[in-house]
Amino acid sequence: MSDLKERSCEACSPNAPKATEEEKQRLQKDVPDWEIMDIDGEEQLHKVFKLKNFVKALEFTNKIGDLAEAEDHHPVIVLEYGKVTVSWWSHEIGGLHKNDFILAARTDAAFKDMQ
């Protein structure tokens, strides 16, 4: 994993630019297991994490919550037995921003730390 997780997030306002196609391609190389999906006309980074049981899945969900609160940037998190699904995107701009890739990288690091 690159240093993407170490980068700082920027404050994102409604007029912030969405990531360009070139930026998305470059940044996604650092989070290759994340899929860019179009959900209701908005691009989102989406990934499913498999865990041992519900307790581990809940622990991971709480780690993601801590990441989100630290940056005031909140994903959709679906918690199931042994599985956590995460979608990052910038609600204010209706699509992907550099911050989403940074937080995807931090999510991967949090998952790796649990292994």
Secondary structure of residue 15 in the 3-state scheme: coil
CATH number at residue 40: 3.30.1360.20
Residue 57: domain span = 33-114
Q: Is residue 103 part of a domain?
A: yes
For 43, the token pair is: 């691009």
Residue 4 in domain: no
Residue 70 covered by a domain: yes
Among 109, 24, 107, which residue's Cα sits nearest to residue 61? 107
Q: What is the pLDDT of residues 16-74, one digit of tens each?
A: 999 999 999 999 999 999 999 999 999 999 999 999 999 999 999 999 999 999 999 99
- Whether 86 is in a domain gets the answer yes
Does 3 reside within a domain?
no
pLDDT value of position 104: 98
pLDDT one-digit tens code per residue, 97-108: 999 999 999 999
Question: Does residue 7 lie within any of the structural domains?
Answer: no
Residue 9 — pLDDT band, cuts 50, 70, 90?
A: confident
Domain count, the chain: 1
